[in-house]
C-alpha cells in the first residue's frame, strides 16, 4: 500500500517533509569508468568507439558501418504497420505545431540616449540526440528531442542509438526519419556521448547533446558539459494528481499507474479533497495491478513511493503541489482554471478529466521531456529555446557615448579597471576635439 | 608579443586550430575540499558556516550577525560619492530597461482537434547571488545578476559576499540596494554556496544560485547543481575585434587591453583586413602597456594569449569569428550591419567604433555575464529567462480526446506501456457508451 497522509493530522508536516525529501534513486557511482571511456575515445577516436561497441553491444562495426545507412533505415521502416506510422505522423505534426510557436523574436530599438540595442536568436549549428537501446528505446522520445531541434533551425542533427546484437528498432528509426534526423550512428553508452562531444574521424563533433540515458550516459553528459551544452539530467519520473470526489476512481488509478509503470523509482501522488475518494482510488489501483503487464514495476513504485494525501480544500492542494513542484500535474477538480492559476511550480499541467497525462507523453503537442525531482522550481521542459542562443547587440552613436560614456568611465575607475575607462576616454576626447 | 597569424599563409589552419584549442586556464582540483565543506554545512548548518568564515575571513559572526543589517548598509553607502552613486543609478536604470524587454509572453490557443494548449512563465521563488570578496568584488556584477532576477519577479533575492577582516565594500552594498537585493549575508566560498543551496537555521535555502566566484565557488556550484539551478560556470574572459584600416589603432589597442587587464588567462584577438593596421595596433598596445596600472596582468595576457590575424576580407573574418564563438565581439568596419548579419555565434556584439566593449560591461543595458570559452556555440548570456521557468498546459475536450486519443493508445502499446494506453482507453469507452 502507498502512504496515506491527512493534512488535518498533527504529524502531517513531518510526514510530508519526509515524503518531499525521500531519495528514490540509488545513485550508482560510475564516474571513474566513464572518465576512462571518454579518455579512450578522445585518444583513439573511431577505434575506441568500435572496441567499446563490440564489448557492450556484441557487434563489430567498421568506421564505414558505424553510420546506419539510408537503405537500412528504408528496410527497417518498411516493417512498420500503416497504423503505427499514422500515429507517429500525427504525433510529429502536433509536436511540430506546438513547438513552432516557441520560436523567439529578435528585437532592436534605439533609446533616448541614442543607443541602438537589441538581441538576435540563432540556432545551435549541430546537435546530438542520445537514444537508449533495448526496453527504454522510445520512438516518442525521438520525436520530443528531434523536433524542437529542427524547428529551432539546427542544421545537423546526429542521433546515436545502440543496437545490441545488431537489432534495429523500426519505430525509432521511423521517428528519426519523420523528425528530420540527419545522421544515425549505431553506438551507445558513454562512448557515444564522448564521440558526439569530441568527434572522431567518422563522427563530426556537435555543439549540444540531449536525450535520456542510463547512469553511464548521464555521467558522460555531466563530464562533457562545458565542451558542449547538455539538457537536464533526468531523474525518475513523477506525477501529482489533484482530484475531487467527482471523478472516476479507475481513471485516476490508471493515471497514477501510467507513471508508476515507468520505473520502480517513479512516484505517483494523489491529493484529494475527499478521503473516501482516496480510498476508492487505492482500491482501483490494486484491482488494476492484478492484471497490468508491468505490475511488478508499477506495484513496487506505488508501494514504495506512492502517496494519497487528503486535504481540506483545493487551496491547500495547490500549496502542497507548489512545494512538490511536480514534473506532471493533473488537475481533476470542478474549477480547473481557478486551481491552475494557483500553481507556481510544475513542469506540465494537464487540465480536466479528459486530459490523462499519457496524452502529453505522446500526442498532445507539448514536450514530454520535463524537469524531475523538484527541479520545476527552477527549470523548464525541453523547448526550441534549448537549441538556440541569444546574441546581445549594442551600438552607440557619438551622442550616446557622450551621454552615457562618463558613467562607464567612473564605474571602471571604481573597479580599478583603467583600460576599460580609457577606451571610453579616448573616444570622448575625439568627440570633444 | 602576441601571435601574428596570416590567413594567406600555408600554416594558417594549423596555427588557428592551435589557438582555438589552447587551454588558457590551469584547473585547480579543489573538489574534495569543496565536498567536505558542503558536507559540514549540511550537517552543522550555521555552526559550520561560522567556523569556516572565521577560518577563511578572520571574522567571528554569530547566527544573529551573519546577515548584514540595514543600518550597516546605510552607514556603508553613505560613504559613496554622489558621482559614483549617480553612475550606478544610471547603469541600473539602463540595465533594467533592457531586461524588462526580455519578459516572455504566455500563450494559449485551441487547435482544430479541440485541444487547448499553451504555456505559462513563472518566476523562480528565491534566488541566491554570489559576490566575490576582495579585488574581484564588482558592483557592476551585482547589478547584472540582481536586476534580471528582480525583473523576472523573484520574490526573495539573497546575496552572499565575504568580508575578509570585516571590511565592507560600500559600492557593492549600494549596487545591491539599488538592484533590490532582499538579504545580504557576510559569507563566501563553498560554505556560502552550500548555505544557499541547503539552507541553515538562519539562511533559508534558495532555488537558483548565480554569480561569479573562484575555483572553490565554481566547484561548489557544480556540486549543488540539481538540488538548485545554477548559471553557467564562467571561464576566463575573451574579446575578438574585427577592424579595418579605418580605425584609430590606439582605440582598438585599449579595447584589446580592457579584456587583457581582467586576468592573465583572458584573451584578446584582433582580426584585421590590413596587416599594417595590425602592426600599428601592436605598437599602440605596447605603448599603453608602458603606463597602464594593471600592465603586469594585461601584458601577460596579451603576450601569452593575444593574437593579431590578417585576413583578405570581412567574410573570412566572420567565418573565423564564428569558429571562435567569442564572448565579446567588436565590429569596427565600414559596413557593420552587413558583417553583423554574418555572425552566427557570439555572446555579445558591439557595433561600430563608438561602442567600446567597456560600455557593455557597465552601462549599455545588455548583460555582461556572457558565455566564455567558445560556449556561445550553445549558450547565451544571463537574462530574465534564467530566473523564470515555463509550465506547459494541455486541456483536452471530449471531442479532442476522441480525435487524438487512439493515436496515443497505439503509441503506448508500441512502447509496451499498457497503463498509459488504458488511461486513454477507459475515457474513450465512456465517450462511446
Task: List the grid coordinates of A363.
Answer: 500526442
- Angle of helix B249-260 relative to helix B295-305, nearest 10 degrees, comes to 100
pLDDT > 70 in chain B, percent: 100
- Whether A424 sits inside 8 A of B348 (CB atoms) is no
Q: Chain A contact for B173, CB < 8 A?
A: no
Of all helices (H) and strands (E), which one includes residue B169? none
CATH of domain B3-25+236-365: 3.40.50.1980
Q: What pLDDT is attached to residue A369?
A: 96
Q: Chain A contact for B224, CB < 8 A?
A: no
Q: Which of residues 124-143 of B touch A (CB under 8 A)?
A: 124-125, 135, 138-140
Q: What pLDDT is attached to residue A309?
A: 98
Query: Residue B256: pLDDT above 80?
Result: yes
Annotated catalytic, B345?
no
From A374, which residue of chain B is nearest by alpha-carbon distance? Answer: B227
Average the pLDDT over B170-180 and give the result: 97
Given A99, A261, A328, A357, the catalytic residue: A328
Q: Give the integer Cα–Cα distance in Å for A352 and A247.
A: 10
pLDDT > 90 in chain B, percent: 92
How distant is the Cα of A399 from the closest Cα of chain B, in angstroms? 9
Query: Residue A348: pLDDT above 80?
Result: yes
Annotated binding-site residue? B99:
no
Residue B433: pLDDT band (50, 70, 90) is confident
Q: Give the integer Cα–Cα distance in Å for A243 and A221.
A: 38
Average pLDDT over chain A reads 96
Q: Give the integer Cα–Cα distance in Å for B144 and B140.
A: 6
Residue range(s) in chain B whose domain bears CATH number 1.20.5.1300: 397-431
Q: Tell me: the pLDDT tens digits for B377-395?
A: 999 999 999 999 999 999 9
Strand A115-123 and strand A388-396: the pairing is antiparallel
Alpha carbon A56 to chain centroid distance? 26
Fold of B31-106+123-230: Rossmann fold (3.40.50)
Annotated binding-site residue? B262:
yes
Q: Tell me: the pLDDT tens digits for A39-97?
A: 999 999 999 999 999 999 999 999 999 999 999 999 999 999 999 999 999 999 999 99
User: Does domain A397-431 correspond to CATH entry 1.20.5.1300?
Assistant: yes
Of all helices (H) and strands (E), which one includes residue A309? strand A307-310
Q: Tell me: the pLDDT tens digits for A230-276?
A: 998 878 889 999 999 999 999 999 999 999 999 999 999 999 999 99
Query: Residue A29: pLDDT above 90?
Result: no
Query: Which of A224-238, B91-105, B187-201 has the least mean pLDDT?
Result: A224-238
Q: What CATH architecture applies to the domain A3-25+235-365? A: 3-Layer(aba) Sandwich (3.40)
Strand A126-130 and strand A208-210: the pairing is parallel
Q: Give the integer Cα–Cα distance in Å for B34 and B215.
A: 10
Q: What pLDDT is attached to residue B29?
A: 80
Average the pLDDT over A407-424 and give the result: 97
Query: Residue B135: pLDDT above 90?
Result: no
- Whether A419 sits inside 8 A of B171 (CB atoms) is no
Average the pLDDT over A314-320 and give the result: 98
Phi, psi at residue B226, to the nearest 5°?
A: 115, -50
Q: What pLDDT is attached to residue B381?
A: 97
Average the pLDDT over A300-313 and give the result: 97
The C-alpha angle with vertex A82 and arms to A78 and A84, in degrees rounded to 5, equals 95
Which is more confidently placed, A321 or B24?
A: A321
Contacts of A97 in chain B (CB under 8 A): 111
Q: Give the integer Cα–Cα distance in Å for A298 and A318.
A: 26
Structure-derived torsion over alpha carbons of residues A220, A223, A227, A228, reported in degrees to the nearest 10: 40
User: How far is the first Cα of chain B from the last one, in angstroms, to the nearest whole number?
Assistant: 84
- Whether A376 sits inside 8 A of B389 (CB atoms) is yes
Average the pLDDT over A387-396 and give the result: 98
CB A158 within 8 Å of CB A123 = no
Residue B298: pLDDT band (50, 70, 90) is very high
Q: Chain B contact for A270, CB < 8 A?
A: no
CB A173 within 8 Å of CB A68 = yes
How distant is the Cα of A275 from the closest Cα of chain B, in angstroms? 22
Q: Which of A117, A207, A355 shows the shortest C-beta gap to B377?
A: A207
Query: Residue B134: pLDDT above 80?
Result: no
Of all helices (H) and strands (E), which one includes residue A268? strand A267-272
Q: Give the integer Cα–Cα distance in Å for A27 and B289.
A: 53
Q: Tell me: the pLDDT tens digits for A117-149?
A: 999 999 999 999 999 987 778 999 999 999 999
Question: What is the number of H-type helices and E-type strands within chain B?
Answer: 16, 14
Strand A267-272 and strand A238-243: the pairing is parallel
Residue range(s) in chain B whose domain bears CATH number 3.40.50.1980: 3-25+236-365, 31-106+123-230
Query: Residue A4: pLDDT above 90?
Result: yes
Q: What pLDDT is attached to residue A39?
A: 97
Cβ neighbourhood burial of B432 (10 Å; 0-12, 13-18, 19+):
exposed
φ/ψ bin of A150: left (φ > 0), alpha (ψ from -120 to 50), beta (otherwise):
alpha
Query: Residue B189: pLDDT above 80?
Result: yes
Radius of gyration of chain A (CA): 26
Residue B234: pLDDT band (50, 70, 90) is confident
Fold of A31-107+127-230: Rossmann fold (3.40.50)
Q: What pLDDT is attached to residue A233?
A: 80
CB A411 within 8 Å of CB B362 = yes
ipTM over 0.90: yes
How distant is the Cα of B357 from the closest Cα of chain A, in angstroms? 8
- With b for 16 or more beta-carbon neighbours within 10 A and e for fewer, the B330-346 pattern comes to bbbbeebeebbeebbbb
Average the pLDDT over A313-338 and give the result: 97
Given A327, A330, A357, A368, the catalytic residue: A327
Q: Give the integer Cα–Cα distance in Å for B164 and B167.
A: 6
Residue range(s) in chain A whose domain bears CATH number 3.40.50.1980: 3-25+235-365, 31-107+127-230
Annotated catalytic, A108?
no
Amino acid at each position: 500500500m502507498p502512504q496515506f497522509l491527512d493534512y488535518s493530522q498533527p504529524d502531517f508536516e513531518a510526514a510530508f517533509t519526509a515524503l518531499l525529501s525521500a531519495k528514490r534513486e540509488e545513485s550508482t557511482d560510475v564516474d571513474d569508468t566513464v572518465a576512462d571511456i571518454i579518455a579512450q575515445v578522445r585518444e583513439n577516436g573511431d577505434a575506441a568507439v568500435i572496441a567499446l561497441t563490440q564489448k557492450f553491444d556484441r557487434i563489430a562495426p567498421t568506421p564505414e558501418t558505424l553510420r546506419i545507412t539510408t537503405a537500412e533505415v528504408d528496410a527497417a521502416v518498411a516493417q512498420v504497420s500503416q497504423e503505427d506510422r499514422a500515429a507517429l505522423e500525427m504525433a510529429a505534426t502536433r509536436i511540430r505545431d506546438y513547438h513552432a510557436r516557441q520560436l523567439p523574436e529578435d528585437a532592436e530599438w534605439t533609446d533616448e540616449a541614442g543607443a541602438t540595442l537589441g538581441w538576435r536568436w540563432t540556432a545551435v549549428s549541430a546537435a546530438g540526440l542520445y537514444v537508449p537501446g533495448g526496453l527504454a528505446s522510445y520512438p516518442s522520445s525521438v520525436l520530443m528531442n528531434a523536433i524542437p531541434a529542427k524547428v529551432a533551425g539546427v542544421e545537423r542533427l546526429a542521433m546515436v542509438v545502440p543496437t545490441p546484437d545488431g537489432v534495429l528498432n523500426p519505430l525509432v528509426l521511423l521517428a528519426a526519419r519523420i523528425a528530420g534526423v540527419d545522421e544515425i550512428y549505431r553506438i551507445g553508452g558513454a562512448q557515444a556521448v564522448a564521440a558526439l562531444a569530441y568527434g572522431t574521424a567518422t563522427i563530426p563533433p556537435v555543439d549540444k547533446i540531449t536525450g535520456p540515458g542510463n547512469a553511464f550516459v548521464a555521467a558522460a553528459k555531466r563530464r562533457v558539459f562545458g565542451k558542449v551544452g547538455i539538457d537536464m539530467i533526468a531523474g525518475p519520473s513523477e506525477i501529482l494528481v489533484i482530484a475531487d470526489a467527482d471523478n472516476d476512481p479507475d481513471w485516476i488509478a490508471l493515471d497514477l499507474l501510467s507513471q508508476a509503470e515507468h520505473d520502480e523509482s517513479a512516484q505517483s501522488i494523489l491529493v484529494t479533497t475527499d478521503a473516501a475518494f482516496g480510498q476508492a482510488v487505492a482500491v482501483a489501483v490494486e484491482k488494476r495491478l492484478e492484471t497490468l503487464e508491468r505490475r511488478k514495476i508499477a506495484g513496487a513504485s506505488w508501494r514504495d513511493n506512492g502517496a494519497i494525501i487528503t486535504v481540506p480544500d483545493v487551496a491547500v492542494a495547490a500549496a502542497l503541489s507548489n512545494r512538490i513542484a511536480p514534473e506532471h500535474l493533473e488537475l481533476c477538480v470542478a474549477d480547473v482554471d481557478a486551481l491552475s492559476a494557483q500553481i507556481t511550480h510544475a513542469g506540465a499541467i494537464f487540465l480536466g478529466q479528459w486530459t490523462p497525462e499519457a496524452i502529453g507523453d505522446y500526442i498532445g503537442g507539448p514536450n514530454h521531456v520535463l524537469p524531475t525531482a523538484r527541479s520545476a522550481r527552477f527549470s523548464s521542459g525541453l523547448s526550441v529555446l534549448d537549441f538556440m542562443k541569444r546574441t546581445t547587440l549594442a551600438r552607440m552613436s557619438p551622442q550616446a557615448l557622450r551621454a552615457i560614456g562618463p558613467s562607464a568611465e567612473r564605474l571602471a575607475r571604481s573597479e580599478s579597471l583603467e583600460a576599460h575607462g580609457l577606451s571610453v576616454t579616448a573616444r570622448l576626447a575625439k568627440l570633444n576635439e
